[in-house]
Structure 1
Amino acid sequence: MAIAYRHQVDPDTEFALWKIEEEADDLYSQLQLNNKEKAYIEKLSKGKRNLHWLGTRVLLRKMLHTDEYIDSQVDIHGKPYLVNMPYHISLSHSFDYAAVMVSKSGPVGIDIEQVKEKVERIAHKFMRPEEMAFIDPANKIQQLYVCWCAKEAVYKCYGQKEVSFADNILLQPFPPQNQGTVSARLLKGEIDIPYQVQYMQYEDYMVGYVKGQQ
């Protein structure tokens, strides 16, 4: 499967979606992996976890236009980074899709989620009362997924642990629509960082993505 969707955010930044229709062996054959990565793949259970890991790495390779080995590590906070290439990266996956965002000029965050009714049951875990107040009852599920993806994208862009979606990431009201922008702030102690998170619905998935300041 080729790239399903690709979007240029700015001259230095883009993201893409990959629909995972291949078998694990097909994806594996498109990668160059070191011994540590091969051992990690061996430990993953067969199924979606395996396909998601492989799918995001194949997509990253396609976006960077290289057949060379890509040394992708994670830091102490779990944020992925490239050792020998001048790109910030963010990875996400949900069911049949992998998503990758890359930028040469600033940290990025992306999240993709399949839209399901279950989000309503956990809304209290990531939404503040004032955020719930602007949710349109007629578009509740869709709008809640925008909020979740926006907060997840901000969390990934910021790239440090111990951030509460409800307590530390605040969203401003936005109209329910298939794509748009959400104003967000990350507030924690003396930290106050504004973000403009973009979102779009793709088939039955919601995608939130953001680029931070260098």
Structure 2
Amino acid sequence: MPLYKTITVNPSTKVLIWKIEESFDVLSKHIQLTENCTNRVVNMKSEIHRRAFMSIRQLLAIEGYTDHDLYYDENGKPHLNDDKYISITHSFNFSAIIISDMEVGIDIEKQRPKILRIAHKFTPIEEYRTIANEDALMRKLTIVWCAKESLYKSFSEKSVSFLQHIDVDEFDLDHDRTTATVTYGAKEVTYDIDFLEFEGFTCAYALISNRN
């Protein structure tokens, strides 16, 4: 069972990362899906998406949950029926969840040069022009994207703009932590961001630290 990594963030918050190496049939063992989720899987055209979907259910099972304990609100945000907070992500052959007593978000992304071309769409790119090394720039921008995606998932307002409403504070690649803020309408919410890099992927997860 390729549980890749478990991170105990604090006594009430845990991150679990799965490396997807098994077939769909193996990942489906001992997993009982709801009727709705069964239909979702049947209609998925991508095999990696189907396997990622089931790997998430395997991660839930590790924490004592079943598919029946998970539901989604009108914005597509996942919830657990015991009132704990959860966020879900997958990218290529990795998937992850974060479960906590506080509002959280998580994202995994593959590090790809493509992000250099689209960075202006989600962050003020002029802030990063002093980074001459292209690999370092790619890594840093991927962390920024993951941080913003994790905040977007937690904040859960579809009209929030990565570029206009989410700011990630400056950070050093040698460290694994920063902060970020969502400012939207009358709301301002600050999050603590932790990130890690592994096998050409980046994962960032956000925990709410202050709300105004």
Answer yes or no: same fold by TM over 0.5.
yes
Contact 1:109/1:209 (8 A) holds in 2: yes
Residues 123-181 of structure 1, C-alpha deviations (whole Å, 9 max, x = no match): 01101245435x6232100000110011011111212211100000011211122x411
Runs of 4+ that moved beyond 3 A: 129-133
- Counterpart in 2 of 1:115? 111
1:16-165 aligned within 5 A: 16-62=16-62, 64-66=63-65, 70-83=68-81, 85-103=82-100, 105-129=101-125, 131-133=127-129, 136-138=131-133, 139-165=136-162
Structure 2 counterpart SS, 1:154? helix
Cα pair distance change 1:10/1:127, threshold 3 Å = same
Cα pair distance change 1:121/1:57, threshold 3 Å = same
Q: Percent identity over the alignment?
A: 30
Structure 1 counterpart SS, 2:99? strand
Gaps of 5+ in 1: none
In the alignment of these two chains, the number of paired residues is 208
Residues 35-67 of structure 1, C-alpha deviations (whole Å, 9 max, x = no match): 2221111111141111111111211211x135x
Aligned amino acid, residue 198 of structure 2: Y
Residue 210 (structure 1) shift: 1.1
Residues 2-29 of structure 1, C-alpha deviations (whole Å, 9 max, x = no match): 3110100000001011011111111122
Aligned amino acid, residue 176 of structure 1: L
Distance in 2 between the 1:92 and 1:147 partners?
16
TM-score normalised by length of structure 2:
0.91
Distance in 1 between the 2:15 and 2:26 partners?
23
Distance in 2 between the 1:131 and 1:16 partners?
32
Cα pair distance change 1:186/1:147, threshold 3 Å = same
Distance in 1 between the 2:170 and 2:96 partners?
26
Residues 68-90 of structure 1, C-alpha deviations (whole Å, 9 max, x = no match): 5532111111100112x232110
- Counterpart in 2 of 1:8? 8
Contact 1:109/1:153 (8 A) holds in 2: yes
Contact 1:70/1:82 (8 A) holds in 2: no
Aligned amino acid, residue 70 of structure 2: S
Gaps of 5+ in 2: none
